[in-house]
Each structure stands twice: as C-alpha cells, then as structure tokens.
Amino acid sequence: FPEMVSNPKLALVQGTLNVVMKQNVTLSCLSEPGSPPVRYTLFKHNQQVSALNRSDLRPALFTLTISSASDVGEYKCKAEYNNSSGGKYSNSLNFTLLEPISKPVLSSPTSQAKKGQNVTLSCFSENGSLPITYLFFKGTQNISPQKTMQKRKAAVIFLFINSLSDFGTYKCKANNSFPNITKYSNAFNFTLAEERSHSQALIISLGLILLLLIIGFALAIPFFLIPLYKASE
C-alpha cells in the first residue's frame, strides 16, 4: 500500500488573485511525490467546492467563475489516496475582488484666497478597491507627484497662491487596480478675496458714525419737545 501523500501545492494557472466580477480562474493541485490514484478536493474557508480523482501524475485542475463577493477569499486543496483516511492540505491562495472607483470629489476648506496665501486641496473617492492613486491638475498640467493611498482617506496637496494665474481651474483623477477605469473629479476654482483699502474702511467707519448720530438725534427729540409743549399750556 502506498505511503501517505505529501502536502500538495495549490497554484494559479489562469487568471490573477485580484479578480473582477464574472472572471474565470483556474487552480491546479498536485501532490509530489504521489502514487495514483489520488483524490483532490478544493476547499473555500473549509467548505468543499469541488473534488477530482486523478489516476495519473498530472495535477487536478479546478476552474472557478467569480460571480459574487462570496466567491473570493481563501482557497486550499487536500490530497488523499482513495479509500484511505487522513490526507494532506496545501498552501492557501487568497482572491481579492476588485471594485471600480467612484468619481472623486475635489474640495478645499476655503473657496476664496488672497495672493500670498497658502491653501489646500483634497481629492477623495468614496468607493473602490485599495490602494487608490490620485493625481492633481491645474488645467491640463499635473501639479503634484502621484499620491497612492493605502487607506480610505483623501489625498491632500498644499498650494501657494502667488499670482492671479494660480486662480485657475483645478481637477484631480483617481484610479486603482481595476482595469481600464480612471475617474476625474469635479472642477474647483479659487476666487480672489476682496481686500478693502484703508480709504474704504474710513468711509465705512464715518458712515456708521453718522448713522449713530442721526439715530441719537431722533431719540433725543421727544425729550426736548415734551417740556416745550408743557410750558406752552
């Protein structure tokens, strides 16, 4: 009677470990050395998926179709001689479902800026498989190195408003490992904050003083008129 099988090797022979919906993948399971016939069983999280008997020394091939999120996760295979107890388990392979990114949102704490001011821009895609790579643009020219975010948080850049040309249109784009998908954000513009001159401030101050004098005079009139009215009676 043959010796107990060795630990089989589980390998990916078609597809990738990062998968998209409706993708086909093929796994091979082989115990070497091993004497046929050998029964190979594929498991996903300790639940049997499929089983094959091999009467030769070729690997067992398992083809899977990723049709839902429940099809991803950890897979292992088991090799055992037919009509025998026990068996050996393989290494594990983990499949990750790739999700396309959502349209990123470009924003800033302030929409108005002055020349000589530091401002920030943040770009964030709420959905999509990590990591996500962001790139910032002004017009059609990129203005920063790529920022790859391993966690679900916004990419942020710092800008210095040096001249009127810095008040142009800004955008960002985002992409991840999902094939052939790149999303661009909304457009964002900084507007020039109005700077009041000293003369404007003086005019406003004098206007307020004049308004207060008029209100005070209007309130004081009854106190002068009432005594005069009583005296004339």
Instruction: Report the relative pairing of strands 112-113 and 191-192 from DSSP bridges.
Output: parallel
pLDDT for 18-30, tens place per residue? 999 999 999 999 9
pLDDT > 50? residue 170: yes
Among 33, 64, 97, which residue terminates a domain? 97
Contact by Cβ (8 Å): 167, 191: yes
- Of 135, 115, 23, 118, the C-alpha closest to 72 is 23
Residue numbers of the domain that contains 128: 105-192
pLDDT attached to residue 91: 97
Among 39, 66, 97, which residue terminates a domain? 97
Residues 138 and 80 in one domain: no
- Specify the CATH number for the domain of residue 37: 2.60.40.10
- Tokens 């470990």 correspond to 17
Among 97, 124, 145, which residue terminates a domain? 97
- For the ranges 149-153, 194-198, 224-228, which has the lowest average pLDDT? 194-198
Residues 22 and 63 in one domain: yes
pLDDT attached to residue 84: 66
Inside any domain, residue 208: no
Inside any domain, residue 171: yes
Contact by Cβ (8 Å): 46, 22: no
pLDDT attached to residue 223: 65
- Of 54, 97, 94, 56, the C-alpha closest to 76 is 94
Residues 87 and 112 in one domain: no
pLDDT > 50? residue 1: no
Instruction: Report the relative pairing of strands 147-149 and 132-138 from DSSP bridges.
Output: antiparallel
Residues 112 and 67 in one domain: no
H helical segments located in 31-109: none
Inside any domain, residue 76: yes
Inside any domain, residue 58: yes
Question: Which pair of structure tokens corresponds to residue 51?
Answer: 């089983």
pLDDT attached to residue 163: 87
Inside any domain, residue 123: yes
Residues 88 and 154 in one domain: no
Give me the mean pLDDT over the 107-111 stretch. 93
Question: Which pair of structure tokens corresponds to residue 212?
Answer: 């207060």
Inside any domain, residue 109: yes
For the chain, the domain total comes to 2
pLDDT attached to residue 155: 97
Residues 183 and 109 in one domain: yes
Inside any domain, residue 130: yes
pLDDT attached to residue 224: 62
Give me the mean pLDDT over the 110-130 stretch. 93
Inside any domain, residue 13: yes
Give me the mean pLDDT over the 212-224 stretch. 74
The whole-model pTM stands at: 0.64
